[in-house]
Amino acid sequence: MPPDTAHTYRAAVIGAGPGGIITAVRLRQAGIEDFVVLERAGGVGGTWRRNRYLGLACDIASHFYSFSFAPKPDWSRPFAGQAEILAYLEDVVSTFDLRRHLCLDTSVEAARWDHEAALWHLTTDTGETVTAQAVVASPGMFGELRYPDIEGRDRFAGTSFHAGDWPADHSLAGERVAVIGSAASAVQLLPEVAKVAGRVHLFQRSPNWVLPKEDKPFAVEQLEQFRSSPDSVAALREELFHRYADDPPFTKPEENAERERLGAACIAVVEDPDVRARLTPKDPWGCHRPLFSNDYYPTFNLPHVELVTDPIIAITPSGVRTVDGTERAVDTIIYATGYETTKFASVIDFVGRDGVHLRDAWADGAQAHMGITTSGFPNLLMLYGPNTNAGSIMYMIECQVDYILRTLHHMERDHLAWIDVRPDVMAAYNVQLQSDIENVQAWQGGCSTYYRVPSGRIVTQWPHSMARYRSLTDNPRPLDDYETHAHAHR
């Protein structure tokens, strides 16, 4: 349904991915029905709807990459694929009766804060304006595609597309395929592409550690136990929580070294010693985003798969040319080159107090208080915001939504028109945060553009345990960190 442009909503939620779904459930559980969820796509699911490339699956175990309030006992395997995750998210939306709040095919292009009225005015792609007292922004990290800056990319005469915009009607059967990129999406899609393509060239800029996944499908007996015993599902989730949530990332040298040994053992299956050497990373485990696959390295033993490590200098009308002068003729180019992961809510043109644009406030890199609120933008509450990437994002978002609901409750209790995190509070938080990030040795050296912005700051990662983040966001007095203003009529 379209949004009610004549109504002022208590809250407008941007995005119907996992963050928007969690928010909608929690709002309804808190007795708040006066909200709208604005989603640019034609359905729910966020990144799990937009992305549909071959081999797409989650790298976090499914029983933990799910909502605490909606356990799924019958995941087909430990690490579910895209279709199963999307079906789960759609089922949660139906189970919790959220569709009445959804406005699909509605993209928020800009949002402007009206300080006198203490309201946000959101402009959609159709030019309509949606008004709300508070905004919960959940655009996700994987909504804006990143393409490489390669000469001639627009001159290719064949088929080309980004892995994040996979065409439903294109067959790779028998084709000559170039895969540009060697990180998360390439690691997952390469083995599947190799099963159908006639020839595959993977163009690698730098190698990554790829570890195995314990991903054997659950046996019938296991699934029956999960279905008949909710306690067994809860116990597994608790076990996974301690696996993912207890320890700060990459801070145990002996564990990091063990993962590198495991990665080296996986690379050892590659038969060609030259290919094996070029697949072996020079950077330590954790320097880049951790990757997992049981099939990636064995794919390079196939006679029709080539690893190319010479830099690309141009895309030609018929293929890809590397610096050594070699041109490889291909029918299809797949850009497995990732996403603009460091923009967060600034992918939308938010304009806050004094007419400041969020993208300008974040010119040196995104920053926020606990990744949720940023100074100068009252009543803007973010999910999966700066420096909240850790373990299961589902768990991290639940922490954030619980904090947001507590904050909204305190605003209602104290009859507040707006709140705005104090600049000194946000600054102190981020000084300490960046200091803690510097202590994670695996992230130093600037080896990952996934984490860093041009200024050098790491803006995606949380440097502590997930359990510590839960403790931080459980603050019983959240408004102590804010400048507040009461309703004029109170």
Superfamily of domain 153-209+251-335: FAD/NAD(P)-binding domain (3.50.50.60)
What CA–CA distance (Å, rounded) separates 78 from 386?
Answer: 29
Looking at this protein, which amino acid is placed at residue 265? A
256, 442 Cβ separation under 8 angstroms? yes
Q: Domain boundaries in the chain?
A: 8-144+340-486, 153-209+251-335
Residue of 469, 470, 373 lying closest to 421 (CA atoms):
373
What is residue 125's predicted lDDT score, i.e. its pLDDT? 94
Going from the C-alpha of 467 to that of each of 54, 112, 123, the distances in angstroms are 34, 35, 37
CATH number attached to the domain at 8-144+340-486: 3.50.50.60
What is residue 490's predicted lDDT score, i.e. its pLDDT? 46
What is residue 8's predicted lDDT score, i.e. its pLDDT? 97
- The b/e string for 175-186 (b: 16+ C-beta within 10 A; e otherwise) is bbbbbbbbbbbb
CA 143 to chain centre: 8
CA 286 to chain centre: 17
- Assess whether the region 8-144+340-486 and the region 153-209+251-335 belong to the same CATH fold: yes
**Extended beta strands in 422-490, E state:** 482-486
Residue of 124, 94, 120 lying closest to 9 (CA atoms):
120
Helix (H) or strand (E) holding 10: strand 8-14
Residues found in the chain? 490
What CA–CA distance (Å, rounded) separates 181 from 195?
Answer: 18
The two structure tokens encoding residue 177? 């395929």
Which three-class secondary structure string do you get for 58-108?
CCCCCCCCCCCCCCCCCCCCCCCEHHHHHHHHHHHHHHCCCHHHEECCCCE
What CA–CA distance (Å, rounded) separates 309 from 304?
Answer: 16
What is residue 488's predicted lDDT score, i.e. its pLDDT? 74
Residue of 191, 190, 208 lying closest to 290 (CA atoms):
208
Provide the whole-model pTM: 0.95
Burial of residue 488, with CB atoms counted within 10 A of its CB: 0-12 exposed, 13-18 middle, 19 or more buried: exposed
The two structure tokens encoding residue 467? 């359990």
What CA–CA distance (Å, rounded) separates 431 from 319?
Answer: 47
Query: Splitting the chain (490 residues) into consecutive groups of 10 residues, what average pLDDT does each group show?
Result: 90 98 98 97 96 95 96 96 98 98 97 97 95 96 88 97 95 98 96 98 96 95 94 93 82 90 97 98 90 97 98 98 97 95 94 97 96 98 96 95 96 96 97 94 75 90 94 90 84
270, 279 Cβ separation under 8 angstroms? yes
* 3-state SS class at 154: helix
Residue of 295, 300, 299, 298 lying closest to 213 (CA atoms):
295
